[in-house]
Amino acid sequence: MEGLDNETGRSKLRISVIGCGYVGLVTGTCLAEAGHQVVCTDNDPQRIAALKAGVVPIYEPHLDAMLAANHRAGKLSFTSDAAEAVRAGEAIFICVGTPPLENGDADLSAIDSVAHLIANEACDSKLVVEKSTVPAQTGQQLKRVLGVYRRNSSVELRVASNPEFLREGTAVEDFLHPDRIVFGVEDEASERQLREIYRPILDRRYRCPVHPSSCPATQLPMLVVTTINSAELIKHASNSFLAMKISYANMIGDLCEKVGADIREVTRAIGLDPRIGPRFLDAGLGFGGFCLPKDVQAFIRLAERSGVDFGMLKEAERVNRRRIDLFFDKIRQALWVVKDKQVGVLGLAFKANTDDIRFAPSLEVIRRLLAEGAQVRAYDQEAMDKTAEKFPQVQYCREPYEVASNADALLILTEWPEFRSLDWVRIHGMMSRPLIIDGRNLLAPSAMAELGFEYYSFGRPMESFDLQLVPPSIPNAFAASASA
Ligand code: UGA
């Protein structure tokens, strides 16, 4: 039953969100912010208890304040009773995890059990929205399970796919300011209902907590309505393309090292071609996180099962796995013997602005350092607690300078922008040997050389300048390096 939001006068729908990971929490909170009545549930009762007490279990900019405000306003609630949550919603967003199985396939058992739950508990008609990332044709299976196990045959359970394109670290902003929203639907009623749910975001009519004064003047989101199969494929194809783009940039970076070119110069110029675009061309340690690596694997498996040889995707994955080997070669070349060296690590999260370390390159680098007998100290703004659970033998520091003290080498493993503005003169004075191996091309080689550091990164000669210091109008590298 639709109601009207008192504040905005807009349609207010009852929405249930199953799964309180980052996708579920961001989705639930943003839909409440957009004016709907949202209840979230999760099979981890401790997580629900924490959320009820106002503790957000992940670090995601803007999420905690928004969640607290909507919780206080009564628009967002949490329950560990999943059946109650299912009964409450006119639309149910499935946001459970689909982690990789050993063979690379996505584990869909959580989706299956939510489908059984919905089939059992639904007393009135519902739109079941697949938000979790799933291989194509999962929606068809979902429909089948809902149909077969439905308790009440007069209850209509419609299925739609609504893939998410949220990046950890900017997920709230991505939800409220998406470039596109995809509805995979097979009937008009589902499309109408999804349009109603997303209307405030499609029309950008909500109070934006990310940009309190005014939002950047970007275009309104594009709405793309497709079949369910296409929507599912769009998600995997998007993440896989991003992964291939990163691996491509990494291969160009390796080539730059061999021929004495500079990856930043090359990717900047190729990225100016609108057909290519400038983003996701940063060379370095490669892609990690819980999305790109697993989605690439699942997409490869889907292609295999469908009889399509997606060799280029397998290659992108292989290139990515090799990044850690190449990084370790750099460490070994610089340090010679790793054993007993004091190694400082700056950055643990799989990327900046998150505390997530799942499939983070840092984990494998640290594992190898420890295996070779190095003493490791580490600092990360957000991800130290989670890393300490995996590597208690690492010494975790309260601030980045502590990591540098008496270090034989400093490794940069996450692109936290704050690392750029550290007092590098101070750091130079603290280290046993002023050696930096930058896995994220965060610092400017020429500036580091000027400060007296031995500095290595990916795809850039020692004397290369930092493009970020160069105004876009400077037309050539000679002018830039003269002014750098
Ligand atoms: C990714 C996608 O970008 C989102 O669009 C998608 O919604 C999400 O997965 C998901 O499926 O839920 P995310 O995992 O948050 O988002 O991370 P990305 O920003 O894509 O970064 C992934 C990895 O690639 C990070 O380790 C990052 O450091 C690395 N990366 C990124 C590079 O090595 N080079 C680049 O140029 C960009």
Q: What is the pLDDT of residues 198-220, one digit of tens each?
A: 999 999 888 888 888 888 888 88
Q: Has residue 28 got a pLDDT over 60?
A: yes
Nearest CA to ligand 1 atom 22: 287
Nearest to 75 by CA among 17, 34, 32, 41: 32
Atom from ligand 1 closest to the CA of residue 165 = 7
Q: Has residue 250 got a pLDDT over 60?
A: yes
pLDDT at residue 206, as a whole number = 84
pLDDT at residue 10, as a whole number = 60
C-alpha distances out from residue 395 to 134, 365, 370, 476, Å: 38, 15, 12, 44
**Model confidence at 484, in pLDDT bands (50, 70, 90)?**
very low
Q: Has residue 464 got a pLDDT over 60?
A: no
Does the beta carbon of 480 lie inside 6 Å of ligand 1?
A: no
Do β-strands 3-4 and 11-12 pair in parallel, antiparallel, or remain unpaired? antiparallel
pLDDT at residue 479, as a whole number = 36
**Model confidence at 4, in pLDDT bands (50, 70, 90)?**
low
| Under 8 Å between Cβ of 293 and 320 | yes
Do β-strands 409-412 and 342-346 pair in parallel, antiparallel, or remain unpaired? parallel
Q: What is the pLDDT of residues 54-83, one digit of tens each?
A: 999 999 999 999 999 999 999 999 999 999
Does the beta carbon of 465 lie inside 6 Å of ligand 1?
A: no
Does the beta carbon of 319 lie inside 6 Å of ligand 1?
A: no
Does the beta carbon of 165 lie inside 6 Å of ligand 1?
A: yes
Distance 120 CA to ligand 1 centre (A): 37
Return the active site residues.
291
Q: What percent of the chain has pLDDT over 90?
A: 88
Nearest CA to ligand 1 atom 6: 165
Q: How far apart are CA 396 and CA 343, in angstroms?
A: 12
Q: What is the pLDDT of residues 122-154, one digit of tens each?
A: 999 999 999 999 999 999 999 999 999 999 889
Nearest to 355 by CA among 333, 387, 332, 328: 387
**Model confidence at 277, in pLDDT bands (50, 70, 90)?**
very high
Q: Has residue 343 got a pLDDT over 60?
A: yes
Does the beta carbon of 167 lie inside 6 Å of ligand 1?
A: yes
Distance 169 CA to ligand 1 centre (A): 10
Atom from ligand 1 closest to the CA of residue 415 = 28
Does the beta carbon of 288 lie inside 6 Å of ligand 1?
A: yes
Give 268 or 12, the one with higher predicted confidence.
268
| Under 8 Å between Cβ of 20 and 26 | no
Q: What percent of the chain has pLDDT over 70?
A: 93
Distance 414 CA to ligand 1 centre (A): 12
**Model confidence at 314, in pLDDT bands (50, 70, 90)?**
very high
Q: Ligand 1 pocket check: which of 60, 167, 317, 442 to mutate, most ligand atoms within 8 Å of Cβ?
A: 167
Q: What is the pLDDT of residues 363-422, one digit of tens each?
A: 999 999 999 999 999 999 999 999 999 999 999 999 999 999 999 999 999 999 999 999
Q: Has residue 476 got a pLDDT over 70?
A: no
* Other Cβ atoms within 10 Å of 166 Cβ, number: 21
Joined together, the tokens standing for residue 182 give 């995809």
Does the beta carbon of 350 lie inside 6 Å of ligand 1?
A: yes
Give 399 or 467, the one with higher predicted confidence.
399
**Model confidence at 462, in pLDDT bands (50, 70, 90)?**
low
Q: Has residue 238 got a pLDDT over 80?
A: yes
Half-sphere exposure of 171 (CA within 13 A, CB side): 25
pLDDT at residue 480, as a whole number = 33
Q: Has residue 339 got a pLDDT over 90?
A: yes
Distance 292 CA to ligand 1 centre (A): 6
**Model confidence at 2, in pLDDT bands (50, 70, 90)?**
very low
Nearest to 301 by CA among 241, 248, 240, 231: 240
Q: Has residue 482 got a pLDDT over 80?
A: no
Distance 285 CA to ligand 1 centre (A): 13
Joined together, the tokens standing for residue 149 give 């196990």
Q: How far apart are CA 484 and CA 475, in angstroms?
A: 14
